[in-house]
Chains A and B, each alone.
Chain A
Amino acid sequence: MSKTLYWFQGSACGGDTFSLLGVELPNLCELLEMLDVEVLWQPSLSNGTPSQHHALLEAICHGEQKLDILCVEGAIVRGPGGTGMFDTMEGVPKKDLFARLAKVAGDVVAVGTCACFGGIGADGEIEATGLQFLKATPGGFLGSSYRSANGNVVVNLPGCPCHGDVIASTIATIAQKAPLPLTEWNSPVEWYDLLVHQGCVRNEYHEYRIEEREFGERGCLFFHLGCRGPVAYGPCNKILWNRRSSKTRVGLPCVGCTEPDFPQSHPFFQTPSIVDIPIELPDGVDRAHYLAYKGMAAAAAPDRLKQRKTRV
């Protein structure tokens, strides 16, 4: 029997939908067919009239139409003053509609940083929140104790947007009822247990501390230009974007878009530092040893790196 999927958009830009459209093989249509997943509704792609949509929602919420996978793109809006009236459908706060869907959904997937942690609107007057986290604090809209009808926590797929392959693979895993080990942020270990730094073509520059101070140089972006690659978890440099590249590969500092506090409060493109040493070091390193190691590494740097001959 087909699995069913409903795609809910809260306070969203649609970026995750377009990221999903970019999946290579299988492409979106083939994937749904292979997995025998029936899309009940996808707001950017589905046909069906507003009145049919209304009837579908009522059928789902009353248990007449089963809902196996509820994908949520965008944050849940609670403002102003907890009313949710900054984001409505036919005059009803969408947060109330989402609460009804979450009660009956077999599994819930938060797609993108806004749905996971609140994201762009988490500090704003719209009082946006993620489904089970508000930034790094557990709870969010549903609360820490929420479990889906199948007894699971919300699966978080952070990223702004989330990579399409990550979305497709997670839907496939859930549809096939395969094991899905999660990190402390309830994200699949498979995709989120590595740093954006892993696989960056500038790694050798990082290793020997050859730093980029101006855009367009060849060097590591971490020490001066605010790159979050050694701190943020995600597969950007493992699976690449649009099968081609990544931000850090083209010289654009990682903005840490998978992190619970994205967008960070300090200015982008600057590394907060004291006498040229970043205040925040690569995740988990011992500060004293790291600084000693970097000093020695800089002294050992080969000329081809110092002269920035090595391409990136």
Chain B
Amino acid sequence: MSVKTIVLHMNRVEGDLEVHVDVADGVVVDAWCKGTMYRGFEKILVGRGPLDGLVITPRICGICSTSHLLAAARALDDVFDVEPPPDAHRVRNVTLMTETVQSDIRHTVLMFAADLVNPAHRSDPHFEEAVRRFEPFRGESVVEVIRETKKILEIVAILGGQWPHSSFMVPGGIVSVPSSADLQRCLWLLRSFQSWYERQILGCSLERFAQIESVAELHAWLDESPRHQNSDFGFLLRAMRSMRLDEIGAGPGNYLSVGSLEMPNDTRIKAVQDSHFLEPAGFAQGTEVEAFEQESIREHVAHSWFMDYPGGRHPFDGETRPYATGAEGSKYSWAKAPRYADRVVETGPLAEAVMSGQSLIRDMLSQGPNAMVRQIARIIRPVRLIPAMYAWLEEARGDGHYYVKPKPLQNGRGFGLCHAPRGSLGHWVEITDGAISHYQIVTPTAWNASPRDSENRRGAMEEALIGTPVKEVDNPIDVYHVVRSFDPCLVCTVHTLRKPLNREWNGAA
């Protein structure tokens, strides 16, 4: 058996990801995901003012800056022991959900579906139509998505000043005080986006789609109307099946969600099982859900380009000293390897669908996970989010109460968790003598594109690649499908240092 190693520097992922796969007898027999860029955010954060994470950390990622802002703000809420007013939670949530729905659609159509246009699929009956819809810069759906997704982001600008890279969330709430007219304009934007999403992406109303609870009902829905078959979702479903994306990319089968979208008081929206979050926290093996404990997170560096420590460390105790060995030895990535309760896990929309008990996705998972169901969970996530966005925009009061000033503080620590579009995100921060002394970030892609850990276990995406067929070594199309189904975002591989410091600081602004 001859083994050939293929090195792929991936495009249409955020940031720099190289995938190395060993191929024997036409299938992937081993895989390594390498984050090839180290950005050293630690030197920027450590020693800075306690609120500086609100300005610096959104700049980690151009597509999920609001997610980093929310995690940073939640961490500071925890540090200052302050609970934002309910309407501040509503506005924070709506902006995160806005970022999420634009990302879900842009990723699916601009980044994921472009692989259906790959010449490797030339003989597939769906190829010509895929080109018509998804060819970069020209495809009909591509042009539509570029035109429409930027409009929904105007909600973040109205509520928070700009997208990307706002810093409008602060410990105790938000700096803005939206007026009734501001909230009304957001509702109009949402209405317009919903109509477009129903027409272009789903081919039916949100209500109709939400009725689909099983694979059998999904088939029935598809057969029901040409509008369903010819929507982008309907076409993707047909094409992904035909191109056999439901036979590749299983992954570890363990899922993690840290919990996201804090439920405000007195909301008409009901959370699953009275969770504090609209998107509940949980750890699942298959579809069996257990409680999530943030204390059970550990990060390993045995195969990451950092100075070694034994086993794994919790983010409050983490350390990061870059140690570039190049291609020598066992280290191969700038991403650390986070593990939950000593297990390799996957995070993202698929995990969220499992935790929130979505019947359709859980039914699809009964046949085993794959790249297709991972992408379906992403493109239908707005069906679940949009109704809550309406509720929270309608419930928030114009010129209302959006901020509670925290008491000044010199020392403290806290953490903030939420779901970025790509999955679970956490910030852990420590303030010493009025300045940041420790800042640790664990991103969705650190979970998904993790390298091996100290027990030599592969990361989730590495595991998902095993067994992937490779027909052309110059163009291993199924490898691309599997990798992009995780929506990796490598700009987020950032790490931290702990160092003593002294700086005067007199309160939370």
Query: Which positions in A face B, CB cutoff 8 Å?
Result: 9, 11-19, 21-24, 27-29, 32, 39, 41, 43-51, 53, 77, 79-80, 83, 85-91, 120-121, 123-126, 160-161, 214-216, 225-226, 236, 240-252, 255, 257, 263, 266-270, 311
B281 at the interface (CB under 8 A from A): no
Selected contact of B166 from candidates A17, A27, A247, CB within 8 Å: A247
User: Does the CB pair A47–B162 fall under 8 Å?
Assistant: no
CB contact under 8 A between A270 and B65, given known A125-B40, A250-B168: no
B157 at the interface (CB under 8 A from A): yes
User: Does the CB pair B162–A44 fall under 8 Å?
Assistant: no
Instruction: Give the distance in Å from the alpha carbon of A18 to the alpha carbon of B58 in the complex.
Output: 14
Minimum CB distance partner of B164 in chain A: A15
User: Does the CB pair B154–A120 fall under 8 Å?
Assistant: no
CB contact under 8 A between A125 and B43, given known A14-B491, A29-B143, A50-B11: yes
CB contact under 8 A between A241 and B137, given known A11-B37, A51-B475: no
User: Does the CB pair B62–A16 fall under 8 Å?
Assistant: yes
User: Does the CB pair B55–A268 fall under 8 Å?
Assistant: yes
CB contact under 8 A between A32 and B137, given known A124-B44, A245-B161, A252-B167: yes
Q: Which of B101-137 touch A at CB < 8 Å?
A: 106, 110-111, 114, 117-118, 135-137
- Name the residue among B51, B142, B157, B435 with the largest chain A CB count within 10 angstroms: B157
User: Does the CB pair A252–B176 fall under 8 Å?
Assistant: yes
Instruction: Give the distance in Å from the alpha carbon of A16 to the alpha carbon of B491 in the complex.
Output: 13
B50 partner residues in chain A, CB cutoff 8 A = 267
Query: Which positions in B face A, CB cutoff 8 Å?
Result: 7-12, 14-16, 18, 36-44, 48-52, 54-56, 59-63, 65, 106, 110-111, 114, 117-118, 135-138, 142-143, 146-147, 149-150, 153-154, 156-168, 170, 172-177, 179, 322, 324, 326-327, 334, 402-403, 405, 435, 474-475, 491, 505, 509
User: Does the CB pair A15–B161 fall under 8 Å?
Assistant: no
A123 partner residues in chain B, CB cutoff 8 A = 43-44
Selected contact of B39 from candidates A11, A43, A266, CB within 8 Å: A11
User: Does the CB pair A242–B154 fall under 8 Å?
Assistant: yes
Instruction: Give the distance in Å from the alpha carbon of A133 to the alpha carbon of B41 in the complex.
Output: 21
B149 partner residues in chain A, CB cutoff 8 A = 21
Determine how close the nearest CB of chain B comes to the CB of A40; give it in whole angstroms: 12
A11 partner residues in chain B, CB cutoff 8 A = 37, 39
Selected contact of B52 from candidates A43, A125, A267, CB within 8 Å: A267
User: Does the CB pair A244–B164 fall under 8 Å?
Assistant: no
Minimum CB distance partner of B179 in chain A: A311
A-B contact pairs, 30 of them (CB 8 A): A13-B60, A14-B15, A14-B61, A18-B164, A27-B147, A29-B143, A29-B146, A44-B12, A44-B110, A44-B111, A45-B111, A45-B137, A53-B9, A79-B40, A91-B326, A120-B59, A124-B40, A126-B38, A161-B164, A214-B405, A214-B509, A241-B162, A242-B153, A242-B154, A242-B157, A245-B157, A246-B161, A250-B176, A268-B51, A311-B179
Q: How many A-B residue pairs lie within 8 Å, measured between CB atoms?
A: 243
Selected contact of A120 from candidates B41, B49, B135, B179, CB within 8 Å: B41
CB contact under 8 A between A252 and B161, given known A215-B403, A216-B403, A270-B509: yes
Instruction: Give the distance in Å from the alpha carbon of A174 to the alpha carbon of B266 in the complex.
Output: 55
A257 partner residues in chain B, CB cutoff 8 A = 165
User: Across chains A and B, which 8 residue pairs bring their CB atoms closest together, nearest first?
Assistant: A267-B49, A15-B62, A241-B162, A14-B62, A242-B157, A250-B176, A244-B157, A247-B161
User: Does the CB pair A242–B39 fall under 8 Å?
Assistant: no
Determine how close the nearest CB of chain A comes to the CB of B141; give it in whole angstroms: 12
Instruction: Give the distance in Å from the alpha carbon of A60 to the alpha carbon of B164 in the complex.
Output: 32
- Name the residue among A21, A32, A249 with the largest chain B CB count within 10 angstroms: A21
Selected contact of B162 from candidates A226, A242, A251, CB within 8 Å: A242
- Name the residue among B8, B48, B51, B165 with the largest chain A CB count within 10 angstroms: B165
CB contact under 8 A between A45 and B36, given known A121-B44, A242-B154: no
Instruction: Give the distance in Å from the alpha carbon of A240 to the alpha carbon of B49 in the complex.
Output: 28
User: Does the CB pair A29–B117 fall under 8 Å?
Assistant: no
User: Does the CB pair A22–B150 fall under 8 Å?
Assistant: yes
User: Does the CB pair B157–A268 fall under 8 Å?
Assistant: no
Determine how close the nearest CB of chain A comes to the CB of B471; give it in whole angstroms: 13
Instruction: Give the distance in Å from the alpha carbon of A112 to the alpha carbon of B159 in the complex.
Output: 24
Selected contact of A160 from candidates B138, B165, B176, B474, CB within 8 Å: B165
Instruction: Give the distance in Å from the alpha carbon of A51 to the alpha carbon of B9 in the complex.
Output: 9
User: Does the CB pair A86–B40 fall under 8 Å?
Assistant: yes
Selected contact of A269 from candidates B9, B51, B403, CB within 8 Å: B51
User: Does the CB pair A80–B475 fall under 8 Å?
Assistant: no
Selected contact of B12 from candidates A46, A124, A268, CB within 8 Å: A46
Determine how close the nearest CB of chain A comes to the CB of B440; give it in whole angstroms: 16
Determine how close the nearest CB of chain B comes to the CB of A114; give it in whole angstroms: 9
B175 partner residues in chain A, CB cutoff 8 A = 215-216, 250-252
Minimum CB distance partner of A75 in chain B: B39
Instruction: Give the distance in Å from the alpha carbon of A9 to the alpha carbon of B475 in the complex.
Output: 23
User: Does the CB pair B11–A255 fall under 8 Å?
Assistant: no
User: Does the CB pair A86–B168 fall under 8 Å?
Assistant: no
CB contact under 8 A between A244 and B154, given known A46-B136, A160-B165: yes
User: Does the CB pair B51–A49 fall under 8 Å?
Assistant: no
Instruction: Give the distance in Å from the alpha carbon of A151 to the alpha carbon of B61 in the complex.
Output: 34
Instruction: Give the distance in Å from the alpha carbon of A235 to the alpha carbon of B394 in the complex.
Output: 33
Instruction: Give the distance in Å from the alpha carbon of A289 to the alpha carbon of B338 in the complex.
Output: 58
Beyond A50-B10, A91-B326, 18 additional contacts (C-beta under 8 Å) are A14-B14, A14-B62, A15-B65, A15-B165, A28-B137, A44-B14, A45-B110, A46-B136, A124-B43, A124-B44, A215-B172, A215-B405, A216-B173, A242-B150, A245-B161, A246-B162, A267-B48, A269-B49
User: Does the CB pair A250–B160 fall under 8 Å?
Assistant: yes
Determine how close the nearest CB of chain B comes to the CB of A139; give it in whole angstroms: 21
Instruction: Give the distance in Å from the alpha carbon of A91 to the alpha carbon of B326 in the complex.
Output: 8
A87 partner residues in chain B, CB cutoff 8 A = 16, 36-38
Determine how close the nearest CB of chain A comes to the CB of B255; give it in whole angstroms: 26
Determine how close the nearest CB of chain B comes to the CB of A168; give it in whole angstroms: 12
Instruction: Give the distance in Å from the alpha carbon of A214 to the alpha carbon of B491 in the complex.
Output: 34
User: Does the CB pair B167–A255 fall under 8 Å?
Assistant: yes
Determine how close the nearest CB of chain B comes to the CB of A164; give it in whole angstroms: 9
Minimum CB distance partner of B168 in chain A: A252
User: Does the CB pair B11–A120 fall under 8 Å?
Assistant: no
Instruction: Give the distance in Å from the alpha carbon of A86 to the alpha carbon of B118 in the complex.
Output: 31
B55 partner residues in chain A, CB cutoff 8 A = 255, 263, 268
User: Does the CB pair B164–A19 fall under 8 Å?
Assistant: yes
Determine how close the nearest CB of chain B comes to the CB of A153; give it in whole angstroms: 26
User: Does the CB pair B8–A50 fall under 8 Å?
Assistant: yes
Minimum CB distance partner of A218 in chain B: B177
Instruction: Give the distance in Å from the alpha carbon of A23 to the alpha carbon of B10 in the complex.
Output: 26
A29 partner residues in chain B, CB cutoff 8 A = 137-138, 142-143, 146
Selected contact of B156 from candidates A24, A50, A242, CB within 8 Å: A242
Instruction: Give the distance in Å from the alpha carbon of A39 to the alpha carbon of B114 in the complex.
Output: 16
Instruction: Give the distance in Å from the alpha carbon of A161 to the alpha carbon of B164 in the complex.
Output: 7
B176 partner residues in chain A, CB cutoff 8 A = 216, 250-252
User: Does the CB pair A268–B54 fall under 8 Å?
Assistant: yes
Minimum CB distance partner of A247 in chain B: B161
Instruction: Give the distance in Å from the alpha carbon of A246 to the alpha carbon of B165 in the complex.
Output: 11
User: Does the CB pair A245–B158 fall under 8 Å?
Assistant: yes
Instruction: Give the distance in Å from the alpha carbon of A51 to the alpha carbon of B472 in the complex.
Output: 12
Instruction: Give the distance in Å from the alpha carbon of A292 to the alpha carbon of B411 in the complex.
Output: 40
Instruction: Give the distance in Å from the alpha carbon of A50 to the alpha carbon of B50 in the complex.
Output: 42
